[in-house]
Amino acid sequence: MNNLKDLPDIRNHLYDEAEKLWWWSIYLNLGAQFSSLIVVLINKAWVLAIAGFLALVAPIVVIWLRESASTFTQQADKCRRLILYADGLGEEISKDDLATIRSWATGIQLKEAPFISPYYASNLPFGTLRLVDIVAESAYFTSHLAGKAVNYLKLICAISVIVLLSILFISISVLNSMSIVIIIARVAILFTTFLLSGDTFLLLKKYTDLKVQANDTFKVCAKLRNESQLSLYQAMQMVEDYHLTLIQSPPIPLKLYLKYREHLNDAYRKSYGY
């Protein structure tokens, strides 16, 4: 399947772009929260104005960044599915699909996708059993890496709560010394900070759901690959269900993949004798 040569690189580029936008949304989220904390510590009108503006635009920009990231994620997942089908069923990818995918990387200097060859460990022949076998492996990685992301996000959520409580405590303690205009402005900033903190917890929930759903996919596929009469419809249904799980979730950070891929590869391949 020579026509797969540049697809992993394009897929990697698209996931990278999606991840960058997600990181920018997280940085902006936390930046707006910390600016809100600064404004209750420094009683200056210009500081209040800057923090108020950031608190106003942050939720809008965060949503825009997430939506833009979603576009890249869907494109990247199309690449992933086509590679999955080609690797599992041994079918060539259509020229129309290749033309569409390559148009997404027009003018881009692609970097080589980081992976340990072979990308999938399955030694089964092309067919439905191989397809669910490699979906099981992919879901195994996704579940464990999403679990690692959850651990890091718990720390970020804890920081968000500390910032929110600090703003609330300091605002209440100096409430009597503030003018009505300052009180209204700080209440508005506090409300926005509350919304941004909630967004961080929503992100934690998304990764937690991804971990659980990917683990469920792994278990189902692990069972299906022992079915001698597995139909193509059943195998493709698992691919598409897994696709829906991924496109509704934030991307797995590349650094987590690079950090844990060898450990997960060893654990998976030794367990199944690959």
Q: Is the bond preceding residue 118 a cis peptide, omega within 30 degrees?
A: yes
Average pLDDT, the chain: 83
Residue 251 has pLDDT above 70, yes or no: yes
**Would you say 197 and 161 are in contact if contact means Cβ atoms under 8 Å apart?**
yes
pLDDT digits (tens, 9 = 90+) for 149-206: 999 888 888 887 787 777 677 666 655 555 655 655 666 666 666 666 677 888 889 9
pLDDT at site 2:
44
| Spatial CA neighbour of 135 closest among 260, 244, 229, 273 | 244
For residue 68, give the 3-state DSSP assignment: helix
What's the number of domains the chain is made of?
1
pLDDT at site 229:
85
**Cα 188 to Cα 53, 153, 163, 166, 168, distances in angstroms:** 11, 26, 15, 16, 12
Q: State how far the Cα of 241 lies from the Cα of 261, in Å rounded to an integer.
A: 24
Q: Which domain holds residue 157?
A: 2-271
Residue 261 has pLDDT above 80, yes or no: yes
Tell the burial category of 190 from Cβ atoms under 10 Å away from its Cβ (0-12, 13-18, 19+): middle
First to last CA, the chain: 22
Residue 94 has pLDDT above 90, yes or no: no
Residue 212 has pLDDT above 90, yes or no: yes
pLDDT at site 1:
44
**Would you say 20 and 65 are in contact if contact means Cβ atoms under 8 Å apart?**
no
**Cα 156 to Cα 75, 152, 165, 200, 272, distances in angstroms:** 29, 7, 14, 8, 36
pLDDT level of residue 54 (50, 70, 90 thresholds): confident
pLDDT digits (tens, 9 = 90+) for 8-35: 889 999 999 999 999 898 888 877 777 7
Q: State how far the Cα of 61 lies from the Cα of 57, in Å rounded to an integer.
A: 6
pLDDT at site 182:
60
Residue 49 has pLDDT above 80, yes or no: no
Residue 142 has pLDDT above 90, yes or no: yes
**Would you say 88 and 126 are in contact if contact means Cβ atoms under 8 Å apart?**
yes
